[in-house]
Every structure is written in C-alpha cells, then in structure tokens.
Amino acid sequence: MYKIFANGPRADIQAVWDVLAWTDPTPADAVDAKEDGRKGWRLDAYAADEAAAKACIALANEAVPSLNVRYEVLEDRDWVTLSLEGLPPVEAGPFIVAGSHALAASSPGMTSVLIEAGPAFGTGHHGTTLGCLLGLAHVLRKRRVRKVLDLGTGSGVLSIAALKVGAVRAVGTDIDLDSVRVSDDNARKNKVAVRFKGVHCSGVRHAVVQRDAPYDTVFANILARPLVRLAPDIYRMTAPGGAIILSGLLRHQEPQVIGAFAGRGLLLVERFHRDGWSTLLFEKRG
C-alpha cells in the first residue's frame, strides 16, 4: 500500500482531491482532504501499488503543478479499514451510526444504522454524511419519507437510515462497483435489503433509476461540479413537494451549487455545516 500526501492552501488541495476522487477510473483507493492547522489543508490518498501512486501524483501535478505531492510506502496492511476501526458511534438527530461493537451499547430509542469499517465511503463520521443525516432528520419533522434516490450511495448509510424510518423503497447508485456491493451487503445486515436496490451507474440514466421516479427524497452526496451538472436531472427525478439533500461541497462552493438549483423552482430550506463541509436542503415547489 502507498500513501500519497500533500499540504497546501485549501483551493490547491481541493483541486487535487476533485481530480483524484472523480477521475473514472481513479488510481486512488481512497482520498481525503481536511483542514490542517489554522490556514492550511492536507490531502491523504491511498493507492494499491507504486504505479498507481505515481499515476495519482501525475494527476495531482497536472491539476496543481505548484503543489508538492509525495508518496511513501506503508506496511502491508489494510490501512483504509484500519483507519476506520474503533471509531465512536455518530449521532445525527434521531440516528446513530456505528459498527456492531458500538451499537450494542448505543443510546436506546434512537434509529440505529449498522455500518462496519470498510473502504466504501459513509461511516457517518465525515461532515458530508453527517450533514445529509441531519437533513433527513429535518425532513422527517414535517413528513414521512417514502421513495428515496441516493446518488453516490457509498456504504448505503443514507438509504438505510431512510428505510429504517419508514421509506418503502430506496435506489442507491454509485460509479464504484465495490461500493454498490458494500451497500447491498449493508442493506442485508440492517434487514432492509428487500426495499433497497444498489445500481452501478453514473447519474440517473439507468433503467432502474428511471423506473422508480419520481422520488420524494433525493440524496446527492458527491462533488460540487457533478452536482451542478446533474441539477436538471435531479430536479426531474424529484416529485413535487419533495426534498433534495445535496452534499460533497465545501462551504466556499455553496454559491455555485445554490445557483444551479435555486433557479429551478426549488426553495433552499436549510444549510448544515460540519468540519468545513456544507449540506444543502432544498424543497421542490408543487
């Protein structure tokens, strides 16, 4: 296993993170970006071998030539999974997300979502996942959730949370086939598999996604640029009166995403900010 890392200004780190996370296929097995001190940001990515690590650096250098991106060889262990082991439970509104070891001692009366440590994105600890769960909790204070579309489903955590509070159907899509397999497995572990369908695709063009439309609740926890690009499709997939919960964007990217959605008969209801990340909750008029 190889670790790729860099420190620099937020804009530079974000640009490299975008290219490593969204290139399809990407040479990186996992990518993370976070604040590192008062002014700087840090990028950490993981690659399976040296060729993939060098490919990551080549993409990074193309995106931001001035950024000093390096790599190092790690001991031969599953660092992606090890980095998640032992994480404490995450509480978001009525939801608690944790592995089996932590759920055994979880708070009574909360809706538990079992997500074990693994490489698929979505343990609840990341600011984007937490923001989406808070957005779902906000929707639930007004109405029931029935049909869910979950774009960029990762571990399936958002779909599973919605199904556990009464949704009758959830379709989760991801461009990463392993994530689709993990989400299906997590749905089985949470005993909601009969109501969940994982789909390997990009966007909303897949027949399964089209067949179940429109949806009263749509999650899109991806990246700012794909959110802007998918705005017309997301709008079309959402039923009148439905909720759209968007994340995967940093706070300074809010204006471009809001601009793409607010002009389509959508009302911005709430914003959730966690660890520098933003989640936007829209309602479709109707």
Token pair belonging to 41: 């940001």
- In the prediction, which pLDDT does 84 show? 45
Total domain count for the chain?
2
| pTM to 2 decimal places | 0.71
Output the average pLDDT for the chain: 85
CATH of the domain at 18: 3.30.70.100
CATH of the domain at 277: 3.40.50.150
Q: Please give the residue range of the domain that contains residue 68.
A: 2-81
Same domain? 127 vs 76:
no
Q: Is residue 123 a contact partner of residue 136, using CB atoms and an 8 Å limit?
A: no
Q: What is the pLDDT of residues 253-283, one digit of tens each?
A: 899 999 999 877 899 999 999 877 899 999 9
Q: Which residue has the higher pLDDT, 11 or 81?
A: 11
CB 248 within 8 A of CB 272: no
Inside any domain, residue 104: no
Distance (Å, whole) CA 127 – CA 20:
19
Report the candidate in 102, 115, 193 with the shortest Cα–Cα distance to residue 154. Answer: 115
Residue 153 lies in a domain: yes
- 280 token code pair: 């936007």
Judgement on whether residues 129 and 204 belong to the same structural domain of the protein: yes
In a domain, 258, yes or no: yes
Q: Does a structural domain hold residue 111?
A: no
